[in-house]
Structure 1
Amino acid sequence: MTAEAEHPPIAIVGAGLIGTAWAALFAHHGFPVRLWDPQAAAMDRAAAALPRLSAQLSAIAAGQGGPQDVVHCATLAEAVAGAALIQESAPEDVPLKHALLAEIEATMAPEAIIASSTSALTWSDLGPGLAEPARLITAHPFNPPHLVPLVELYGTDPVRMDRAEAIYRMVGRVPVRLRKDATGHIANRLASALWREAVYMVQEGIADVEAIDTALANGPGLRWSVLGAHMAYHLGGGPQGMAGYLDHLGPSQERRWASLGTPALTPEVRAALIDGVAREAGGRSIAELEQDRDAALIALLRARKADG
């Protein structure tokens, strides 16, 4: 098998935070990567960020096949031509995406995959932008995509889904498939449900922002980094597992569900959230917070890699 067959060309359309991270990830794993954005400033920012992202990936020691340079393309057609996977990471605007997808479709190889990094939009929102919607899948990453392994997939063509999943696995991602098209996919629905209750606790004065974040990071968040919610409750059921948990603690779980709230983002709640995260940040800038987050993620990923 040729090197190109093993690592087919990848087009990254959109050079924002998500697109640049995708470009770094694919290039790090030996894929020829072509990057395009209509804004020259975005391309300049991507060029400045790529060495840092590449260094982070090298720190995890997860590369396979040798890193490649990212080719910065002057036109969309140049980026898309001959690409096996076109990772679209444009802003979350339906008319904009429809126009962009139509332009991609006019240039792409017939068997290629268009993978949208959309988080707020669904496949059903985006499919009408194509003459052949089956060419599209949604491939929602978690930020930052080059570090967090999750990719949530939905599409209607099983062949393209299989090929896309194989490519994502080659770059160390953990793909999961939705069985139904859904707003928020899987993980953002879970995250939104949790944050809703976190905001409700602030609104009701149960705890402040820092206490809630500390409880999450040092309690269930730590456990969730190695197993999911269903499995955690399965283990919480003792020798009988999930069946035992539901028999003995199911009613208490239902009482907790009944007490969960639906907050309103009133001016007072907004102020409490903004002030709370400012106190928790302790004067650190967004860039410094991102650096701390990424360093912690890299350490965690290295530990998981060492543990097999």
Structure 2
Amino acid sequence: MTVAVVGAGTIGLSWTTLMLAKGHTVRVTDPRPDLSEAVRDAVREFAPTVPGFAGDAEELLSRVEIVGSVEEAVDGVQAVQENGPERLEFKQDLFAAIEKAAPDSALLLSSTSGLTPSSMSSRMTAPQRLVVGHPFNPPHLLPLVELVGSSDREVARAKEFYLSLGKVAVVVHQEIRGHVANRLQRVLFEECVNLVEQGVVSMTELDDIVTNSVGVRWATVGPFLAFHLGGGPGGLRHMMSHLMPYIPSDVQQRLADQAETVYPLAQNESRAARRDRQQLGIISLKERDDDVR
């Protein structure tokens, strides 16, 4: 497959490396004057860290095509991954140009971290073609990509493509600025800033708190499953009813019912054991890495 990467900043260069490592030819365009050098340096640096890749970075570079325009980049490709500046009008014009020059069958994907597909596609003839494929940076390392789009068919095609790259592709069912991961990150970071500014803890102390508690836990189970397991035999229902009076009772009921459907209580013991094994593995890895330093 030939993929066009439009925009070669940090995210675009990371996508380029991952797609090369997965066997694709990648056509890269960006107005930066050092584009060839930037791609070469990034691939050499990033390729050895791509999970599962044990090949030669120089071989990957043989499948890179550096081109001078968006139209040339997207001509004849099977997929386009856009990584331009987070400016709405810029992206509107860019996707209108991409749509005209790319094949009708090509996937049109955007790495935007906050803009919605309906806003970016407003100048396209077929706006349903645009799908947000927002990675968690850097995409050659972190598995998540969030998918947002108005066409179930295009979202499904995009998901299949990202799964082939080894990503964990999660469909976000409604447009919302910032998607999901960045909204969660923003809320947590705002409280981090508040705690440090109030003198409750220092910056380094707060980082130590997160990386030795919820950081380890959330790397193995998400917030809902964490509280479902933390609630013992009663699961999330017990946890909320005893410790979360700020959540309305009808919401508690709906969430508890959903948790018990997707995470049956009878399996919580084995889930907790798996969580503990994974947490111990993360802690052990951190300790070994600290010893090396």
TM-score w.r.t. structure 2 length?
Answer: 0.79
Q: Which has the higher contact order (CA 8 A, sep 6+)?
A: 1
Q: 2:122 aligns to what SS in structure 1?
A: helix
Matches of 1:197 and 1:167 in 2, distance apart?
36
Q: Which runs of 4+ in 1 moved over 4 A?
A: none
Q: Which runs of 5 or more residues in structure 1 are unaligned?
A: 1-7, 255-295, 301-308
Q: Do 1:29 and 1:63's aligned partners in 2 also have CA atoms closer than 8 Å?
A: no
Corresponding residue to 1:95 among 75, 89, 94: 89
Match of 2:44 in 1: 51
Match of 1:172 in 2: 166
Matches of 2:247 and 2:211 in 1, distance apart?
21
Q: Do 2:36 and 2:66's aligned partners in 1 also have CA atoms closer than 8 Å?
A: yes
Matches of 2:188 and 2:147 in 1, distance apart?
22
Matches of 2:151 and 2:54 in 1, distance apart?
30
Offset at residue 45 of structure 1 (A) = 1.6
Q: Do 2:118 and 2:127's aligned partners in 1 also have CA atoms closer than 8 Å?
A: no
Letter paired with 2:203? V
Match of 1:35 in 2: 28
Residue identity over aligned pairs, in percent, reads 36
> CA 1:160–1:253 in structure 2 vs 1: closer, same or farther (change >3 Å)?
closer
Give the number of equivalent residue pairs. 247
Letter paired with 2:225? M
Matches of 1:24 and 1:186 in 2, distance apart?
25
Letter paired with 1:90? G
Q: Say whether residues 1:197 and 2:191 are aligned partners.
A: yes
Matches of 2:164 and 2:81 in 1, distance apart?
15
Match of 2:256 in 1: none
Match of 1:160 in 2: 154
TM-score w.r.t. structure 1 length?
Answer: 0.75
Letter paired with 1:76? V
Corresponding residue to 1:61 among 26, 47, 52: 52
> CA 1:43–1:95 in structure 2 vs 1: closer, same or farther (change >3 Å)?
farther
Matches of 1:134 and 1:86 in 2, distance apart?
15
Q: Do 2:128 and 2:149's aligned partners in 1 also have CA atoms closer than 8 Å?
A: yes
Q: Do 1:101 and 1:130's aligned partners in 2 also have CA atoms closer than 8 Å?
A: yes
Match of 2:134 in 1: 140
Q: 2:205 aligns to what SS in structure 1?
A: helix
Letter paired with 1:53? F
